[in-house]
Amino acid sequence: KLSRQITGLTGNGDDGWSLFSRARAMKAAGLPILELTIGEHDTGTDPAILDEMHRAARAGHTGYAAVPGIAPLRRAVAEHLGAATGRAFGPENVLITPGGQAALFAAHHAACDPGDHALLIDPYYATYPGTIRAVGAVPVAVPTRAEVGFQPEEARLAAAAEGATSLLINSPNNPTGAVYDEATLAGIARVAEAQDLWVISDEVYDSQVWQGRHVPFAALPGMADRTLTVGSLSKSHAMTGSRLGWVAGPPEAIERLITLATHTTYGVPGYIQEAALFALRSGPETAARVAAPFLRRRDMVLACLARQQVLSAIPPQGAMYVMLDVRRTGMTGRGFAEALLDAEHVAVMPGESFGSAAAGHVRVALTLPDPEFAEAIDRLFAFAVR
Ligand code: PLP
Query: Can you tell me which atom of ligand 1 is nearest the CA of 232?
Result: 16
Query: Can you tell me which atom of ligand 1 is nearest the CA of 38?
Result: 8
Is residue 9 in some structural domain? no
- Asked whether 235 and 205 are in contact (CB, 8 A), the reply is yes
Structural domain ending residue among the three candidates 266, 281, 296: 281
Number of folded domains that form the chain: 2
Phi/psi for 190 (5° steps) reads: -65, -45
Are residues 67 and 38 located together in one domain of the fold? no
CA atoms 274, 278, 279, 283: torsion sign = positive
Mean pLDDT of the chain: 96
Q: Is the pLDDT of residue 251 over 70?
A: yes
Are residues 122 and 201 located together in one domain of the fold? yes
Are residues 222 and 94 located together in one domain of the fold? yes
Q: From ligand 1's centre to the CA of 328, what distance in Å?
A: 30
Q: CB neighbours of 336 closer than 8 A, spacing ≥ 6?
A: 326, 329, 350, 362, 384
Per-residue pLDDT of 195-242, as tens digits, reads 999 999 999 999 999 999 999 999 999 999 999 999 999 999 999 999
DSSP H/E element including 118: strand 117-122
Are residues 21 and 131 located together in one domain of the fold? no
Q: Mean pLDDT, to the nearest integer, of 148-165? A: 97
Is residue 5 in some structural domain? no
Are residues 260 and 306 located together in one domain of the fold? no
Structural domain ending residue among the three candidates 254, 281, 308: 281
Are residues 159 and 275 located together in one domain of the fold? yes
Q: From ligand 1's centre to the CA of 102, what distance in Å?
A: 9
Q: Is the pLDDT of residue 369 over 80?
A: yes
- Other C-beta atoms lying within 10 Å of the C-beta of residue 313: 20
Per-residue pLDDT of 24-67, as tens digits, reads 999 999 999 999 999 999 999 999 999 999 999 999 999 999 99
pLDDT for 12: 59
pTM, two decimal places: 0.97
Q: Residue 140 belongs to a domain with what CATH number?
A: 3.40.640.10
Q: Which of 211, 155, 134, 159 shows the shortest CA–CA distance to 180?
A: 211
**224: number of CA atoms within 13 Å, CB side?**
16
Is residue 7 in some structural domain? no
Q: Is the pLDDT of residue 333 over 90?
A: yes
Q: Give the dihedral of Cα atoms 208, 211, 213, 215; nearest 10 deg.
A: -70
Q: Mean pLDDT, to the nearest integer, of 282-290? A: 94
Q: From ligand 1's centre to the CA of 28, what distance in Å?
A: 25
Are residues 160 and 275 located together in one domain of the fold? yes
Give whole-number Cα distances, 79 to 34, 91, 195, 225, in Å: 40, 9, 30, 17
Q: From ligand 1's centre to the CA of 233, what distance in Å?
A: 10
Q: Mean pLDDT, to the nearest integer, of 358-374? A: 98
Give whole-number Cα distances, 90 to 73, 75, 107, 175, 362, in Å: 11, 6, 18, 32, 41
Are residues 225 and 343 located together in one domain of the fold? no
Reported as a pLDDT band with limits 50, 70 and 90, residue 14 is low
Reported as a pLDDT band with limits 50, 70 and 90, residue 8 is confident
Q: Is the pLDDT of residue 13 over 60?
A: no
What is the domain extent for residue 298? 17-44+286-385
Are residues 371 and 300 located together in one domain of the fold? yes
Structural domain ending residue among the three candidates 281, 306, 338: 281
Say if ligand 1 is within 6 A of residue 100 CB: yes
Say if ligand 1 is within 6 A of residue 174 CB: yes
Reported as a pLDDT band with limits 50, 70 and 90, residue 192 is very high
pLDDT for 18: 87
Q: Residue 298 belongs to a domain with what CATH number?
A: 3.90.1150.10
Q: Is the pLDDT of residue 305 over 90?
A: yes
Q: Is the pLDDT of residue 15 over 70?
A: no
Q: Is the ipTM of this complex over 0.95?
A: yes
Is residue 90 in some structural domain? yes
Whole-number Å distance between alpha carbons of 288 and 235 = 11
Reported as a pLDDT band with limits 50, 70 and 90, residue 306 is very high
Q: Is the model more confident about 18 or about 370?
A: 370
Q: From ligand 1's centre to the CA of 100, what distance in Å?
A: 5
Reported as a pLDDT band with limits 50, 70 and 90, residue 3 is confident
Are residues 66 and 201 located together in one domain of the fold? yes
Is residue 303 in some structural domain? yes
Per-residue pLDDT of 99-118, as tens digits, reads 999 999 999 999 999 999 99
Are residues 113 and 128 located together in one domain of the fold? yes
Are residues 60 and 156 located together in one domain of the fold? yes
Say if ligand 1 is within 6 A of residue 89 CB: no
Beta bridge partners of 96: 246
pLDDT for 7: 76
Q: Is the pLDDT of residue 356 over 70?
A: yes
